[in-house]
């Protein structure tokens, strides 16, 4: 075999088994990026005036305090606060499908108080909450339900049924529950605005801490350390 033939054989082998370095490198880089780059977790808060900063200076509510805590701990979680003053469970249920299109990782439901203050049927409130929870879970999100209490305007039986419905729903749907969102302020007038219904600025830190404790099962999702 002469020299020319040997050279041609070597070239032919090299070309046959050749993988361009640039192509290999870019493929590996893209694969590495796809495993390293992850969409930041998102929390959807579906609530009423208690979460919508009703009567408060802007960015002073418990939701903002939660976002501040996430930033403090270098968490990339983003909060979508879809709370509206006066919102009911029916209103929240009607708005939820569009909000779930954003694929939140966690849905915090703070609704029901306005239903109870209007004396709406317990069964209706319960079913609306169940529907919201089930839709959220179906979308792939975890759920935290914030429980509420109401005054005895409609009698002690209705008041007790209202309080228990949150526990009933949370247990049967197997989700996390904060039994009473207003724990620590409900019986203290100094924590309420002049209407004696809506918590004031001083109460927001307490509400924030209540929710933060309830978020214990979701620390990994939220990137919280403490």
Mutual orientation of helices 122-138 and 89-100 as an angle, nearest 10°? 10
Distance CA 27, CA 33 (A): 10
Taken as a whole, the chain contains a residue count of 226
Active site residues: 49, 195, 198
Residue 129: other Cβ atoms inside 10 A: 25
Ranges of H-type helices in 37-111: 62-72, 89-100
Distance CA 140, CA 18 (A): 44
- 207: β partners: none
Beta strand pairing status for 106-110 and 42-47? parallel
CA 135 to mean position of chain CA atoms: 13
From the list 4, 25, 56, the residue with the least C-alpha distance to 202 is 56
Distance CA 2, CA 136 (A): 74
Radius of gyration of the chain from Cα atoms? 26
């Amino acid at each position: 075999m002469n020299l020319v033939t040997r050279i041609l054989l070597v070239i032919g082998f090299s070309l046959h088994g050749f993988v361009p370095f640039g192509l290999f490198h870019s493929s590996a880089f893209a694969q590495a990026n796809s495993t390293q780059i992850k969409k930041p977790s998102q929390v959807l808060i579906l609530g009423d005036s208690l979460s919508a900063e009703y009567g408060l200076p802007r960015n002073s509510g418990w939701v903002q305090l939660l976002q501040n805590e996430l930033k403090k701990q270098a968490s990339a979680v983003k909060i979508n606060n879809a709370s509206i003053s006066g919102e009911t469970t029916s209103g929240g249920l009607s708005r939820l499908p569009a909000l779930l299109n954003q694929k939140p990782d966690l849905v915090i439901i703070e609704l029901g108080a306005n239903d109870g203050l209007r004396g709406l049927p317990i069964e209706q409130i319960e079913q609306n909450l169940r529907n919201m929870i089930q839709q959220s879970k179906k979308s792939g999100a975890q759920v935290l339900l914030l429980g509420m209490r109401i005054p005895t305007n409609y009698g002690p039986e209705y008041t007790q049924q209202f309080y228990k419905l949150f526990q009933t729903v949370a247990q049967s749907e197997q989700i996390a529950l904060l039994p009473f969102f207003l724990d620590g302020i409900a019986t203290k007038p100094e924590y309420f605005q002049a209407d004696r219904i809506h918590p004031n600025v001083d109460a927001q830190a307490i509400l924030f801490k209540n929710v933060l404790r309830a978020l214990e099962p979701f620390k990994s999702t939220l990137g919280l350390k403490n």
